[in-house]
Amino acid sequence: MIKATSFDAILDMIEALSLEEQDALLDIVCRRQAERRRREIAKNIAQAKAEYQAGEVSRGTVYEIITELNK
């Protein structure tokens, strides 16, 4: 993680930007976060598919799964 002083310096640099530049920066950061989330979701889906194909997925009701876990 970025040191607090570095983070403060970044905030100061952002404050120095015009409102339009701050809006553009905010848009870029939001889009990058959304893309990162999409990649993470895609990774989780691929992992779930692989586990399903390998037979590593349990099926049943919540009660059945809890009962199985408590054995």
Q: Contact, 14 vs 25, CB < 8 A?
A: yes
Residue with tokens 């993470």: 40
Domains of the chain, by residue range, sit at 18-69
Q: How many helical (H) and strand (E) elements, i.e. helices and strands, does the chain have?
A: 3, 0
The span from the CA of 54 to the CA of 46, in Å, is 12
Mean pLDDT of 3-21: 91
Tell me what pLDDT residue 1 has: 57
pLDDT in tens, 20-65: 999 999 999 999 999 999 999 999 999 999 999 998 887 889 999 8
pTM here is 0.66
Radius of gyration of the chain (CA): 22
The span from the CA of 37 to the CA of 24, in Å, is 20
Which tokens in the block code for residue 15?
């404050």
